[in-house]
Amino acid sequence: MVILCGYDTIKDALVNHAEFFSDRPHNPLFSKSIKEHGIAFSNGENWKVMRRFTLSTLRHYGMGKKTIENRIVKEAECLSFSNFTSLNAALTNIIVGILLNERFEYEDPTILRLKALASEKIKLLGSPWVKLYNSFPSVMDRLPGPHRTICKNFKEFQSIIIATFTKSKKEFDMNDQSNLGKQESTQYYHNENLIVLVGDLFAAAVESMSSTMRWGLLLMTKYPEIQKKVQSEIDKVIGSAQPQMEHRKQMAYTDAVIHEIQRFGDVTSITIPHGTTIIPVLHSIHKDKKYFEKPEEFYPEHFLDSDGNFKKNEAFIPYSLGNIHN
């Protein structure tokens, strides 16, 4: 195993030499559960096809467009108070709406269970039991333990999708996806692959957004002076109107704060044998004084220029770089 630290090293590996670092490590436990379908744990042509399909479909249904604003506003209007249960339900509904064109009430058992399954999946990924299984799969297959929950949860998630969202598949028209797949084999567009893909997107999106929201609430509470600046900019630019993506251009400080929340919170020449597991430590980038003036402080000015305008920082990569990031 090789661990990469620092922006320059990680960028050089994942971007400049992407062809050598694009494969995901073999994960015996997830291979048993999902058979390397979907996008999170797949490699090769399947990963390429599923990634193209995912990006095309998400854009078609609103990602990066004004149409997604209505989904977000609808969920915001349903938040009578901002506790974590309601926030998580709102975020889950947004993702479910994009992926499956469905919406649930916040206390609906289905949405609560979907969120619980997604959260448990993320937690189990880093657990000692999963690491043990991946090191000794033949032995762990014979032993009880939390590692068995992965397979059980996947089957439950799969059954929810099949039972609840079958109608989404019936309404899906491949010809409406800009003729996606005409130039490539359709062997990857089967039920099992697409079900795993939905699970990958659901778990990754809900957990990353939920984590960002939790860190945001915590940091705004801890830094009330920054919270006041954000509120002032919101009042000035948006006021009582419906928030829209175009407002972002006029809200440099708020944009900088959101980037700083993700940075602060954290969502050499050597011969490396083929098949070696490479772990890029993103924390080492977001805490690098070379790129962030005050890396150990919550400091929105990391994303503002001298005139107070929002500026991008090349070292801000909360979701990794290169071909391996989703």
Per-residue tens of pLDDT for the chain, all 326 residues: 677 788 888 888 778 877 777 777 667 766 766 677 777 777 778 878 888 888 787 777 666 666 677 777 776 666 555 456 677 777 778 777 777 777 788 788 887 888 788 777 777 776 778 778 878 888 888 888 877 887 788 788 888 877 766 555 555 544 444 444 454 556 777 777 877 887 777 777 777 788 888 889 899 999 999 999 999 999 999 998 888 888 999 999 999 999 999 888 875 334 445 566 666 777 788 888 888 999 899 999 999 998 999 998 888 887 766 555 44
40: Cβ–Cβ under 8 A, 6 or more apart, which residues? 24, 200, 203, 204, 326
76: Cβ–Cβ under 8 A, 6 or more apart, which residues? 90, 243
Whole-number pLDDT of residue 144: 84
Whole-number pLDDT of residue 184: 55
Whole-number pLDDT of residue 167: 55
State the Cα angle at 78 between 74 and 80, rounded to 5°.
150
Task: Collect contacts of 145-149 with beta carbons under 8 A, ≥24 apart.
Answer: 147/29, 149/120, 149/124
Whether 156 contacts 116, CB under 8 Å: no
Q: Residue 274: is it exposed, middle or buried by C-beta count within 10 angstroms (0-12/13-18/19+)?
A: exposed
User: Can you identify the CATH homologous superfamily of domain 28-222?
Assistant: Cytochrome P450 (1.10.630.10)
The C-alpha atoms of residue 261 and residue 178 are separated, in whole angstroms, by 36
The C-alpha atoms of residue 50 and residue 56 are separated, in whole angstroms, by 10
The C-alpha atoms of residue 98 and residue 96 are separated, in whole angstroms, by 5
310 phi and psi angles, rounded to 5 deg? -65, 135
87: Cβ–Cβ under 8 A, 6 or more apart, which residues? 79, 210, 213
Whether 207 contacts 109, CB under 8 Å: no
The C-alpha atoms of residue 213 and residue 230 are separated, in whole angstroms, by 15
Whole-number pLDDT of residue 175: 47
As a three-state string, the secondary structure of 246-281 is: HHHHHCHHHHHHHHHHHHHHCCCCCCCCCCCCEEEE
Whole-number pLDDT of residue 271: 44
Q: Residue 292: is it exposed, middle or buried by C-beta count within 10 angstroms (0-12/13-18/19+)?
A: buried
pTM over 0.85? The answer is no
Whether 253 contacts 233, CB under 8 Å: yes
The C-alpha atoms of residue 10 and residue 288 are separated, in whole angstroms, by 13
The per-residue DSSP string of 186-203 comes to GGG-SHHHHHHHHHHHHH
Whole-number pLDDT of residue 170: 55
278 phi and psi angles, rounded to 5 deg? -110, 130
* In the chain, domain spans: 1-23+249-326, 28-222
Whole-number pLDDT of residue 79: 58
Tokens of 323: 């071909």
